[in-house]
């Protein structure tokens, strides 16, 4: 990205290896010009960056035992309660333990900060051999978020596709959960967390400050 010097500088062919559900041969060979927006074309004073890596490793402590993490009462090692807004787009279902992601998001936000989410719950590690994974329903996700101190202000279901060919004969459409939720209390306040103990495979309820 850093080497790009102009908009629509490169042509890529994302559909060239797909042979099913093609309407016209030209559709398969259709180029897509990138970038549509120049990454380096930022206004003066803009604070924009990209961090590559696992979400928990970058913004959390990356420990495996989540129960021990909560008992340590210190999850976001880099400047907790720093951010005004966290936006998650087609993201929270990539977690092995979605509650870990939610806890990191909560710790990252300032009191009064807003969590904006849109996406499905297509859990990436569901039924993966040898992988520990927790798959909550949307109802359960919202319940845990409320227990973590979030108040939902806006909720709706949004029909959306994902990286699909607009000219194909087959497109998948998700019913995505969209919400805006406000973090109501500070990390210094008492709260209840619902976590999953990977050691004994039983749900455990912990109360901070107990």
- Please state the domain extents for the chain: 1-50, 52-207
Model confidence at 154, pLDDT cuts 50, 70, 90, reads very high
Q: Is the pLDDT of residue 63 over 60?
A: no
Torsion angle of the four alpha carbons 188, 201, 64, 176, in this order, in degrees rounded to the nearest 10: -70
**Contact between 116 and 87 (Cβ < 8 Å):** yes
156-180: pLDDT as tens digits = 999 999 888 889 999 999 999 999 9
**Distance between alpha carbon 180 and the CA centroid of its chain, in Å?**
14
pLDDT at 210 over 80: no
107 CB-contact burial (10 Å; exposed 0-12 / middle 13-18 / buried 19+): buried
Mean pLDDT, rounded, of the chain: 82
Residue 94 has pLDDT above 60, yes or no: yes
Strand partners, 194: 205
- The reported pLDDT for the residue numbered 57 is 76
The Cα 99–Cα 57 span in angstroms is 15
7, 58, 67, 90, 105 from 72: Cα distances, Å: 47, 18, 9, 30, 17
What's the sign of the alpha-carbon dihedral 46, 51, 56, 61? Answer: negative
- Name every residue whose Cβ is closer than 8 Å to that of residue 161 and which is 6 or more positions away in sequence: 171, 172, 173, 174
User: Crossing angle of helices 98-108/138-147, nearest 10°?
Assistant: 40
The model's pTM is 0.76
How large a percentage of the chain has pLDDT more than 90?
Answer: 58
Query: 133-152: per-residue pLDDT in tens?
Result: 999 999 999 999 999 999 99
pLDDT tens digit string along 24-59? 999 999 999 999 998 878 788 777 777 777 778 777
Residue-level pLDDT at 112: 96
Distance, in Å, from the CA atom of 20 to the CA atom of 30, rounded to the nearest integer, reads 15
Residue 66's pLDDT is 41
Alpha-carbon gap, residue 78 to 161, rounded angstroms: 34
CATH number of 52-207: 3.40.50
Q: Is the pLDDT of residue 8 over 60?
A: yes
- Spatial separation of the C-alpha atoms in residues 188 and 36, rounded to whole Å: 43
Task: Give the containing element (helix H, strand E) for 197.
Answer: strand 192-197
């Amino acid at each position: 990205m850093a080497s790009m010097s102009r908009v629509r500088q490169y042509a890529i062919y994302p559909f060239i290896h797909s042979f099913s559900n093609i309407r016209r041969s030209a559709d398969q060979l259709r180029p897509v010009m990138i970038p549509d927006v120049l990454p380096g074309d930022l206004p003066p004073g803009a604070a924009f960056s990209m961090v590559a890596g696992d979400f928990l490793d970058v913004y959390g402590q990356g420990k495996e035992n989540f129960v021990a993490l909560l008992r340590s009462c210190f999850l976001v090692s880099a400047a907790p309660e720093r951010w005004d807004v966290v936006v998650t787009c087609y993201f929270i279902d990539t977690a092995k333990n979605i509650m870990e992601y939610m806890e990191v998001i909560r710790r990252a936000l300032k009191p009064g900060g807003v969590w904006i989410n849109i996406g499905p719950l297509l859990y990436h590690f569901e039924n993966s051999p040898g992988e520990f994974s927790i798959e909550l329903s949307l109802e359960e996700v919202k319940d845990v978020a409320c227990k973590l101190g979030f108040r939902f202000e806006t909720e709706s279901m949004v029909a959306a596709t994902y990286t699909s060919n607009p000219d194909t004969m087959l497109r998948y459409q998700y019913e995505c959960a969209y919400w805006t939720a406000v973090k109501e209390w500070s990390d210094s306040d008492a709260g209840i967390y619902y976590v999953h103990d990977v050691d004994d495979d039983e749900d455990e309820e912990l109360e901070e400050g107990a």
